[in-house]
Amino acid sequence: MLLGYNYFIMKDGFGRTIDYLRLSITDRCNLRCRYCMPDGIVSLPMSEILSIEEIIFTTRILAELGIKKIKITGGEPLVRKGCIQLIRMLKEIPGIEEVTLTTNGVLLSENLPALLDAGISAVNISLDTLDRDKYRLITGFDCLKEVLTSVDAALKSSIPVKINTVSVDWSSYDKNLNSKDNQTNPYEEIVKLVDFAADKEICVRFIEMMPLGLGKDFPGIPHSSLIPYLTDRYEGMTLDKEHRGNGPAVYYKIPGFTGNIGFISAVNGKFCESCNRIRLTTTGYLKTCLCYDKGVSLMDVIRSNATEEEKHDTIKKLMKDAIDTKPEMHCFEDTEKISEKHVMSSIGG
């Protein structure tokens, strides 16, 4: 349905509205999270990565098709030169209503004033633990202090702040990865992050570890057991039906808490019926479902000798065709069927 210039509503083959883009702008990162990008992962040469101009060219076409919201991801987006300038340019594209960022938070506080000036609408900060030693063991760097400074700075600004935590039973992966008092109870490690929302205007969201890339070797905590554990522990914890974001998270409120908590049950909860998203990777691949190596490579056309107009028309058609054949649902429960072989840092999560 065409509602006016640049206000197209894009539907996939199953009638779902596709209006949300996860845009990965780098495969590089300043951390080495064990489940995502441990030491040894080789970065792509910059010549194989979309330039800022190429990202803008491609995103403009996606906006014409109906993309309205963009989440900048990576790798770590804040290590990409030109990230802030890119956000400013994305915000100026007709039809783009919201540009948000997911970051590990290490470089956030120093970049926050410029990000706000560029028009960032919200930030998600990834944080898997509040314990300094455990943070260093998971990410490879002693940077918890910097991340917490960024959380504080973001909370003082006017934008919404979310924490994203993968729910992992770290103790069964490596016994050093639970604090001394909780050696055998992974749920109590999660409780510490729940309590982080007690006195802050923040949403702490738990994400089930997906069996993608290196994630398949990590013992996830299924939300089917985590949510009952927490509802038992926090009297009056109830579903918050009013609180909604762009994605599949289910939110809960806890009496007396300033913030709230959320669960993205990527593996055990099938929320594919309401999936609204596509992904553009650093190499110009339009990816239509996390689980599968399915989509279309746009790089050859972007870098061809065709005129801008020809490129525009060809890319638009390729995008439409790819979105039309977006898979109906993920297959995380049947790992044999997962055809995506890339690590998360190159997909963007």
**Contacting positions for ligand SAM (CB under 6 A):** 29, 35-36, 73-74, 76, 102-104, 126, 164, 166, 207, 209-210, 212-213, 215, 344-345, 348-349
Closest separation in Å from C-beta 146 to ligand SF4: 12
Selected from 126, 165, 260, 276, the binder of ligand SF4 by CB under 6 A is 126
- Tell me whether residue 76 or residue 131 sits nearer to ligand SF4 (CB atom): 76
- Please select the residue that binds ligand SF4; options are 12, 19, 76, 131, rule is CB under 6 A: 76
Q: Report the half-sphere exposure of 312 (CA within 13 A, side-chain side).
A: 10
Q: Is 36 in the site for ligand SF4 (CB under 6 A)?
A: yes
290: helix, coil or strand?
coil
> Which letter does DSSP use for residue 155 in this model?
H
Within 14-33, the residues that bind ligand SF4 by CB under 6 A are: 29, 31-33
Q: Indicate whether 290 belongs to the interface with ligand SF4 (CB under 6 A).
A: no
Binders in 327-346 for ligand SF4, by CB under 6 A: 344-345
Residue type, 258: T
Closest approach of ligand SAM to the CB of residue 91, in Å: 20
Q: Which does 209 bind (CB under 5 to 8 A by kind): ligand SAM, ligand SF4, none?
A: ligand SAM
Distances (CA, A) of 328 to 16, 155, 202, 290: 10, 37, 33, 12
- Which DSSP state fits 55? H
- Told to check if 210 binds ligand SF4 by CB under 6 A, we report no
The span from the CA of 259 to the CA of 154, in Å, is 14
Distance CA 277, CA 188 (A): 33
If one asks whether residue 265 binds ligand SF4 (CB under 6 A), the answer comes out as no
Nearer to ligand SAM, 36 or 89 (CB): 36
Contacts of 3 (CB under 8 A, 6+ apart): 9
CA 305 vs CA 55, 60, 300, 309: distances in Å: 17, 19, 10, 11
Q: What does the buried/exposed string (b/e) look like for 77-88 if buried means 16 or more CB atoms within 10 Å of the residue's CB?
A: bbbbeebbebbe
What does DSSP say about strands 69-73 and 98-103: parallel, antiparallel, or unpaired? parallel
Q: Does 74 bind ligand SF4 (CB under 6 A)?
A: yes
The residues that touch ligand SF4, with contacts defined as CB under 6 A, are 29, 31-33, 36-37, 74-76, 104, 126, 344-345
